């Protein structure tokens, strides 16, 4: 069965301060608007997901919530995975490899540099540093999630909110 993984970098968030944990940084209004544009772009193309998996950081969770709203998905569909906050590419791979076999489309929300590196690891295609709010769609042909590994995916597209008109 073919599967699609959407890797989404959190949208633009407030700058950190000495009085605030990095984990607690919220999206800025411009970040909310940017991810809403991405959500509309995906919705117009009939793209949806069986499940959304997000880092526990506020900016990633908020990105997932805004995108879920644009795709008419319930925020209850968002699964939080603390390892995606700072666990590196291995944590991303573990999150993908343990997805239920009946899911064919999943959106995973995380952080740079891990999300960009993970995209390149799966596809062997250069994406550089994904912009804030960008989404990379990766297709896996005739493969279960447990079989996903390096160079097993095909990059369908990688788009940034900056690529879309308002």
Give me 14's structure tokens: 């407030």
Neighbours of 38 (CB within 10 A): 24
CA distance 32 to 34: 5
**For residue range 18-32, what is the model confidence (pLDDT) as tens digits?**
788 889 999 999 999
CA distance 162 to 151: 27
Task: Provide the pLDDT confidence category of residue 114 given band limits of 50, 70 and 90.
Answer: very high
* Class of the CATH-defined domain 3-163: alpha beta
**DSSP state, 28?**
P
**pLDDT over 90 at 101, yes or no:** yes
**For residue range 29-76, what is the model confidence (pLDDT) as tens digits?**
999 999 999 999 999 999 999 999 999 999 999 999 999 999 999 998
Neighbours of 85 (CB within 10 A): 18
Give the CA radius of gyration of the chain.
15
């Amino acid at each position: 069965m073919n599967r699609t993984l959407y890797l989404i970098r959190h949208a633009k968030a407030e700058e950190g301060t000495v009085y605030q944990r990095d984990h607690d940084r919220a999206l800025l209004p411009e970040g909310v608007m940017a991810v809403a544009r991405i959500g509309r772009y995906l919705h117009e193309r009939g793209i949806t997901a069986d499940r959304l998996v997000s880092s526990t950081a506020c900016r990633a969770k908020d990105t997932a919530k805004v995108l879920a709203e644009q795709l008419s998905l319930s925020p209850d569909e968002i699964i939080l995975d603390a390892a995606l906050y700072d666990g590196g590419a291995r944590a991303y791979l573990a999150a993908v490899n343990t997805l239920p076999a009946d899911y064919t489309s999943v959106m995973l929300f995380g952080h740079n540099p891990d999300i960009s590196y993970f995209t390149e690891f799966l596809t062997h295609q250069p994406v550089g540093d994904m912009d804030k709010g960008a989404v990379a769609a990766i297709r896996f042909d005739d493969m279960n999630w447990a079989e996903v590994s390096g160079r097993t995916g095909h990059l369908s597209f990688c788009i940034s909110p900056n690529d879309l008109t308002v």
